[in-house]
Homo-oligomer: A and B are copies of this chain.
Amino acid sequence: MTMEIEPNLLADVGRRLRALRADQDLTLEQLARLTGISAPALSLIETGKRDARLTTLAKIAAALRVPIRTLLEDPADAASTGGDVPAEGYDLGDYL
């Protein structure tokens, strides 16, 4: 279960981005000036229609003054922060 790449990853990140921007009462135009990313590009990212590059997300996060990881984490499962490694006894079967 859940082996796809989370099809709404982009939409989720976009939603968080938009919420963050709204929190600071910024328009796309203003964020565009802060980031150097055009407003249309920001719109596409926020609406989950564009697969942004890592440095692009980093610029936006920097302008919004939040760590990049904030854009990716579900506030819900953010509780499990502290233990990450998958137990190491993980076998890939006949995949390899």
Contact = CB atoms under 8 A, between A and B. Distances in A.
Given A5-B55, A72-B72, A92 B34 contact: yes
Nearest to A73: B69
A84 B67 contact: yes
A57 B13 CA distance: 13
Given A72-B68, A72-B72, A85-B23, A9 B54 contact: yes
A46 to B, nearest CB: 13
**Size bracket of the A interface:** 35 or more
Contacts of A86: 65-66
Contact of A30 (B30, B90, B96): B96
B66 A69 contact: no
Interface of A: 3, 5-6, 9-10, 13, 23-24, 26, 30, 33-34, 51-55, 57-59, 62, 65-70, 72-73, 77-78, 81-82, 84-86, 88, 90, 92, 95-96
